[in-house]
Amino acid sequence: MSAIWYWVRHGPTHQKGFTGHRDVPADLSDTAALGRLSAYLPEGALIVSSDLIRAVTTADAIAAARHRLPNTPALREFDFGTWDGLTFDTIAARDPDLSRAYWEQPGDIAPPGGESWNAAAARIRPFVDEMNTAHPGRPIIAVAHVGVILTQLCRATGKTPAETLAQHIDNLSVTRLTFGPDAADPVNYIP
């Protein structure tokens, strides 16, 4: 049986640098956008989020009467290690070869003290698989981060990580993915 996931990227943080495991709040002042998002999502869905505050508060804002599951570190953003909080330009100047390889050849390349694409995907996948097994056929809303959503988009489409990085995921957008043997069209992106 297929599982339908509604991946929601948390509200905007207005950070200028990389924001991975660093816990910063989301700006949830656009209540009209949150209302439209909540109205779009299925009412009978389960809702789960990363344990980082920007995802937790976004999930709480759209939960309504949906069954809220415990927050999980499995859905945290990539760990950018010593790059967390730095701008792209600063990172490119400090680690030019590594930063270029990290974006152009995602896989096993990681920032200093951080996490590679493959490590993040390996952290996220078991949680998604466990949820699919525990809740077959039940829609799941997951409030997470751009990197998390991209790993699952990569998995659903069969594209490479490098191809998937070209996909833009806006704050408060929905990426609908269907996992399972009867998934005719596994990916629907709804901005």
To which residue do tokens 């660093």 refer? 22
Mean pLDDT of successive 10-residue segments in the chain (191 residues)? 91 96 97 97 97 98 97 98 97 97 96 98 96 92 98 93 94 91 55 46
In the chain, the number of structural domains is: 1
- Would you tell me how many other CB atoms lie within 10 Å of the CB of residue 183? 14
Output the pLDDT for position 114. 98
Write out the E strands in 10-166: 46-49, 67-68, 140-144
- Domain ranges, residue 146: 3-190
- CATH code for position 156: 3.40.50.1240
Q: Which two tokens stand for residue 152?
A: 């699952």
The span from the CA of 71 to the CA of 91, in Å, is 31
Q: Are strands 174-179 and 3-9 parallel, antiparallel or unpaired?
A: antiparallel
pLDDT value for 191 = 46
φ, ψ of residue 72 in degrees (nearest 5): -135, 135
Taking the model in full, what pTM does it have? 0.94
Write down the pLDDT at residue 185: 54
pLDDT at residue number 3: 86
d(CA 18, CA 43): 33
